[in-house]
Structure 1
Amino acid sequence: MKWLIFFMLTLTANFSFAQKFNFPKLIAQTTKPINTIPKNWKVIDSAQGDLNNDNLQDLVLILEHNTAINEDRAYGNYEIELITETQKPRILAVYFKDANNRYRLSAQNNDFILRSEEGGKMGDPLKGLRIEDNKFMLSFEGGNDWRWKLNYEFEYLQKQWNLVSANNVYYHKDSGEMVDKQYDFVDRTIKTVVGSIFKRNISNNVDEDILVFGSPRTLNDFKKPWTWEVTKDNYL
């Protein structure tokens, strides 16, 4: 009997492993952006604009799976603080357009876009995707009484998508108490604004310092918001 139980448990474990969700590999090149959307996925946001300074309209897509699955998501240190959550996976895709109207996949990231259940009482934290000045920007917002805003700017530099600036705001919805950290990874500065979110330009304390970090953080190695400890106890 024991060997039968062990055998059944082994089969169950193998079946569970076999059912592990696999992200699709997006089409590397196409003339029709709609062809980039895999079966059982849909576009939930998109932006068009010049990302590589060639005066052509490149494309950024955010895709979402049609059904929820169990995902291991990170909060803090990505290596050790994984939380399993049931939600719909999302994909960030960046396509360059060429003179022949072909779209070439420049980046696919399966982790960075926050899921619809990761915004707390405020609901879906995804608040915006846009392209400006050859960069694409992502905005997130969430929380309960204490709320947060995250803004990221990525730019294509030396054949990789570098994080060039970011903004992390933490505030109370009623009192307006606020800490706003503004990161510039090009000029290597960090500006911290402490005060009230209701009086952003009045009586707030502003401190600016040198931002010390190693190599630039890219979209490929930036697993998810809140997982990069830029400076001690300051996460993006």
Structure 2
Amino acid sequence: MRLQLITIFILSFGYSFGQVFSYPEVNTNGQRFADFIPNGWTVLDSAKGDMNKDGKDDLALVVQFRDSVLIAKVENDDLDTVFTQPRMLLLAFYNVISKRYELVERSNTFILTHDQDNMEEPFHDISISIGVLKIGFNIFMNSGGWGTFSNIYKFIYQDKEFRLIGAEYNYLNRGSGETVERSYNFLKNKVKLSTGTISSDIMKTKWHNLKVNELKTLKTFSQPFTWKMEKYFYL
């Protein structure tokens, strides 16, 4: 599944067609979740935890535009237009001096939108554990495909960037029962590949070396399923 969004948005409900949608400004600091939510947006998911290892809980927010908009979308080199609700990822650190949260990162593209009628909601959850920011997705097609899979992306804050240090990929073919699990460790340049079936607890496991010269960040890896890891596989 390889996706690329063209950042051309046309307002649909409550607005006239032809007007270009603009992502709103977001407050650079605040005392609580609500201070970072622009007018017309709502919280889809949130998490608290220490991301910069200063002993204080930070904020991670996934927010969604309340109305649906028409977007131009490229998938597998085919151009299409779909109605969807834009989303943003917002990350804020707690400042012990000001006693306020300060926005340190935002992404308008990393959180997948729900824009296909034959697919369940792709965004699963966001969490923070032991300094690691985890963002999960589930791809489940109600029609048009037997495969279902989930990805979890793992970021740490390092050198003023959120760097991708690992990822988990789990695939199930609902027809054959085939399962595939890939566990990526970009710090060690290793991937653990496990294959099996849902009818057995036995998995065949192999380790492979990776060739990742530089860790990707939320800026350089702006959207899931666009990083070509193998000949026919996109992470």
Q: TM-score range by the shorter chain?
A: 0.7 to 0.9
| Partner of residue 189, structure 2 | 188
Please tell me whether the aligned partners of residues 29 and 35 of structure 2 are also in contact (alpha carbons under 8 angstroms).
no
| Partner of residue 105, structure 1 | 103
Q: Secondary structure at the match of 2:34?
A: helix
Give the distance between the partners of 1:213 and 1:73, measured in 2 at CA.
Answer: 28
| Amino acid of the structure 1 residue aligned with 2:106 | Q
Q: Name the CA shift for 1:167/1:148 in 2 (closer, same or farther; >3 Å).
A: same
| Amino acid of the structure 1 residue aligned with 2:103 | L
Q: Which has the higher helix share?
A: 1
| Partner of residue 216, structure 1 | 215
Give the distance between the partners of 2:116 and 2:168, measured in 1 at CA.
Answer: 18
Q: Deviations over 1:60-83 (max 9, x none)?
A: 00000001112234546xxx5654
Please tell me whether the aligned partners of residues 177 and 195 of structure 1 are also in contact (alpha carbons under 8 angstroms).
yes
Structure 2 spans left out of the alignment, 5+ residues = 1-15
Determine whether 1:147 maps to 2:170. no
Give the distance between the partners of 1:168 and 1:181, measured in 2 at CA.
Answer: 5
Q: Name the CA shift for 1:162/1:146 in 2 (closer, same or farther; >3 Å).
A: same
| Amino acid of the structure 2 residue aligned with 1:23 | Y
Give the distance between the partners of 1:132 and 1:197, measured in 2 at CA.
Answer: 29
- Provide TM-score, normalisation by structure 2: 0.84
Give the distance between the partners of 1:132 and 1:119, measured in 2 at CA.
Answer: 33
Matches within 5 A, 1:15-164: 19-75=19-75, 83-99=80-96, 100-117=98-115, 120-121=118-119, 123-144=120-141, 145-164=146-165
Q: Name the CA shift for 1:197/1:103 in 2 (closer, same or farther; >3 Å).
A: farther
Give the distance between the partners of 1:198 and 1:52, measured in 2 at CA.
Answer: 42
| Amino acid of the structure 2 residue aligned with 1:195 | G
RMSD: 2.0
Q: Name the CA shift for 1:33/1:66 in 2 (closer, same or farther; >3 Å).
A: same
| Partner of residue 228, structure 1 | 227
| Amino acid of the structure 2 residue aligned with 1:213 | V
Q: Deviations over 1:84-106 (max 9, x none)?
A: 32100110000001113211111
| Partner of residue 170, structure 2 | 169
Q: Name the CA shift for 1:215/1:209 in 2 (closer, same or farther; >3 Å).
A: same
Q: Name the CA shift for 1:75/1:198 in 2 (closer, same or farther; >3 Å).
A: farther
Which of these two proteins has the greater Rg computed from alpha carbons? 1
Give the distance between the partners of 2:89 and 2:213, measured in 1 at CA.
Answer: 25
Please tell me whether the aligned partners of residues 182 and 191 of structure 2 are also in contact (alpha carbons under 8 angstroms).
yes
Q: Name the CA shift for 1:186/1:173 in 2 (closer, same or farther; >3 Å).
A: same
Q: Which has the higher strand share?
A: 2
| Partner of residue 12, structure 1 | none
Structure 1 spans left out of the alignment, 5+ residues = 1-14
- How many residue pairs were aligned? 215
Q: Secondary structure at the match of 2:162?
A: strand
| Amino acid of the structure 1 residue aligned with 2:107 | N
- Provide TM-score, normalisation by structure 1: 0.84
Q: State the identity %.
A: 27
Q: Please report how far the alpha carbon of residue 155 of structure 1 lies from its aligned counterpart in structure 2 after TM superposition.
A: 0.6
